[in-house]
């Protein structure tokens, strides 16, 4: 498994009228963490896109256990546990950074498509980088 911890601070823009993080913001936290996870293993989203490969989200899921509040610091853990064949699955857990209480967990599934939105094989460079990190 390959994982990465990404720190997030909750700002006023993130909360709803009840004072907790608005539900869709967690998917944005997932996106931030995913980008940093890929970067940490040498996969630049910009380079992939310049090579004509896109990674659109084709499925997402989020389970909410506890709402985060204004000015809280969160730890978003993203992980890849399965070598992609046709799709890339990434799991996420969001914890309170101080207490490690689980607030949210979920996943996203990404397709590999070309600039014409046609499915393509997982690029060899991605397989090689994931294999180098020990993902089999």
Please state the rounded mean pLDDT for residues 42-71: 95
Q: Is 66 helix (H, G, I), strand (E, B) or coil?
A: coil
Determine the pLDDT at residue 59: 98
Whether the pLDDT of residue 134 is over 90: the answer is no
Whether the per-residue pLDDT at 136 is higher than 80: the answer is no
pTM for this model (two decimals): 0.94
Helix (H, G, I), strand (E, B) or coil at 22: coil
First and final C-alpha spacing in the chain: 9
What is the structure's pLDDT at 86?
Answer: 86
Spatial CA neighbour of 38 closest among 74, 73, 84: 84
Is the pLDDT assigned to residue 68 strictly greater than 90?
yes
Identify which has the larger pLDDT, 136 or 14: 14
Does residue 135 carry a pLDDT above 90? no
Phi, psi of 85 (to 5 degrees): -105, -65
Calculate the CA 79 to chain-centre distance. Answer: 8
- Domains, the chain, in order of start with CATH, read 2-132 (3.10.129.10)
Average pLDDT, the chain: 95
Output the CA angle 90-116-126, nearest 5 degrees. Answer: 35
User: Which range has the worst mean pLDDT, 60-64, 92-96, 130-134?
Assistant: 130-134
pLDDT tens profile 22-34: 999 999 999 999 9
Residues 6+ apart with CB under 8 A from 24: none
Residues comprising the chain, all counted: 136
């Amino acid at each position: 498994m390959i994982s990465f911890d990404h720190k997030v601070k909750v700002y006023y823009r993130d909360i709803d009228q009840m004072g907790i993080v608005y539900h869709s913001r967690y998917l944005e936290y997932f996106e931030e963490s995913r980008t940093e996870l890929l970067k940490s293993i040498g996969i630049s989203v910009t380079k992939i896109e310049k090579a004509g490969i896109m990674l659109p989200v084709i499925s997402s899921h989020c389970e909410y256990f506890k709402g985060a509040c204004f000015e809280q610091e969160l730890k978003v853990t993203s992980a890849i546990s399965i070598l992609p064949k046709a799709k890339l699955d990434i799991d996420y857990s969001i914890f309170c950074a101080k207490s490690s209480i689980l607030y949210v967990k979920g996943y996203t599934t990404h397709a590999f498509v070309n600039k014409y939105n046609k499915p393509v094989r997982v690029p060899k460079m991605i397989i090689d980088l994931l294999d180098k990190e020990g993902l089999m």
